[in-house]
Structure 1
Amino acid sequence: MEHRHKLVQMISAEKIAKAVAELGKTLTADYAGKQLAVIGVLKGSFVFMSDLVRKIDLPITLDFISAKSYKGTVSVGAVNVKMDTELDVDKKNVLLVEDILDTGRTLSVLKETMLARGAADVKIAAFMDKPSRRAIDITADYKCFTIDDKFVVGYGLDYDEYYRNLDYIAEVIL
């Protein structure tokens, strides 16, 4: 497949599948006997969330929320919630599923929003964690990979809406 930009593969599809399966087992154990509402942050989390929820061996409810803090490769700072979840999270354990925990702004706003709506607990499952970019004091409760400060695409992550369909993670060389 020809790409619009130079891409260098960082994480293979096989490594991704193994990490997601392991995380699913961990979540199954951690949430056994609890009401779990899984909320994916669109658009980037949709591939990860789709694979992850099929590895959680529990009854769950799920929905999506759309929030954005990026334009191209740059975090613009302000978090814009474009589509809200329809789930009632009152007294439920909420798992926010995100593609990448970067500055932390988006997940901080979403976590506070869920707690304000009465969630019993809110945890974060990030496909990838990029701690060197953190602007807010927030951590992923669950993660598959930790990466350096590189702009990555694939497995749901995009560069101006391209490359979400890749089954691996690649660095974009600009």
Structure 2
Amino acid sequence: MKRVTLQDKTFELFIPYEQIQSSVQQLADRINRDYADKPVPLFLGVLNGSFMFMAELMKRIGFACEMSFVKLASYRGTSSTGKVSELIGLTDNLQGRDIIVVEDIVDTGESIDHLMRSLVGHRPASIEVATLLFKPSAYKKEVEIRYPAISIPNDFIVGFGLDYNQLGRNLCDIYKIVNE
């Protein structure tokens, strides 16, 4: 089993890059069907984690669209702090626009709930969530996650944009923590 060590933690291969690509393609196909006739939706990536997923997804979107980013923080080490802080705000005009929030992972839902409450005040036509990874057993909020690419158990993971203390984002595969 392929493993990586980041600082004091060891992780083993969980989702290989080929499976990620296939899942992103399936998700893009759904979004392409649902948004093909919409006037220039805005894909809103949540930094830092979503950058690799956003890049893979956008390569597969076949309609006119725009992209922007916001930066939120709610993690320290391997656990959520339970508090979300908006670090880089939104500058785009969202009124009357269809918005697709692009997340790397939705687990407890604190970050997505915070962001959705902020976005509603901008009066968009619609807001949906696309996430590479979704942890249904950890999710505690009411926001519908319409576009999950991959559902996973509540393991701590790194790679493909996800980090442990800012390390591991550059890994092409996704790894889960090894509890030794």
TM range (shorter): over 0.9
- In the TM superposition, what are the counterparts of 1:110-121 in structure 2 within 5 Å? 110-121=115-126
| Structure 1: gaps spanning 5 or more residues | none
Describe the SS at the equivalent of 2:70.
strand
Describe the SS at the equivalent of 2:5.
coil
Query: Shift in Å at residue 85 of structure 1?
Result: 2.3
**Percent of aligned positions with the same letter in both sequences?**
30
Give the TM-score taking structure 2 as reference length.
0.92
Q: Is 1:108 aligned with 2:149? A: no
- In the TM superposition, what are the counterparts of 1:32-43 in structure 2 within 5 Å? 32-34=36-38, 35-43=40-48
Describe the SS at the equivalent of 1:15.
helix
Give the structure 1 partner of residue 12 of structure 2: 8
Q: In the comparison of the two structures, how many residue pairs are matched?
A: 174
Give the structure 2 partner of residue 57 of structure 1: 62
- 1:147 corresponds to which of 142, 146, 152: 152
In the alignment, is the contact (CA less than 8 A) between 1:39 and 1:85 conserved in 2?
Answer: no
Q: Which amino acid letter does the alignment assign opposite residue 91 of structure 1?
A: G
- In the TM superposition, what are the counterparts of 1:90-169 in structure 2 within 5 Å? 90-169=95-174
| Distance (Å, rounded) in 1 between the aligned partners of 2:32 and 2:124 | 19
| Distance (Å, rounded) in 2 between the aligned partners of 1:57 and 1:6 | 39
| Distance (Å, rounded) in 2 between the aligned partners of 1:170 and 1:38 | 26
**Structure 1 runs, 4 residues or longer, greater than 4 Å off:** none
Q: Is 1:25 aligned with 2:29? A: yes
Give the TM-score taking structure 1 as reference length.
0.95
Describe the SS at the equivalent of 2:105.
strand
| Distance (Å, rounded) in 2 between the aligned partners of 1:69 and 1:170 | 20
| Distance (Å, rounded) in 2 between the aligned partners of 1:85 and 1:38 | 12
In the alignment, is the contact (CA less than 8 A) between 1:102 and 1:131 conserved in 2?
Answer: yes
Describe the SS at the equivalent of 1:150.
coil
In the alignment, is the contact (CA less than 8 A) between 1:42 and 1:67 conserved in 2?
Answer: yes
| Distance (Å, rounded) in 2 between the aligned partners of 1:171 and 1:126 | 18
Query: Shift in Å at residue 15 of structure 1?
Result: 0.5
| Distance (Å, rounded) in 1 between the aligned partners of 2:37 and 2:154 | 38
| Distance (Å, rounded) in 2 between the aligned partners of 1:24 and 1:134 | 23
| Distance (Å, rounded) in 1 between the aligned partners of 2:137 and 2:69 | 27
Post-superposition Cα deviations, 1:100-153, rounded to whole Å, max 9, x if no partner, equal 111111111111211110111000001000011122223311011111110000
Query: Shift in Å at residue 170 of structure 1?
Result: 0.5
| Distance (Å, rounded) in 1 between the aligned partners of 2:32 and 2:93 | 21
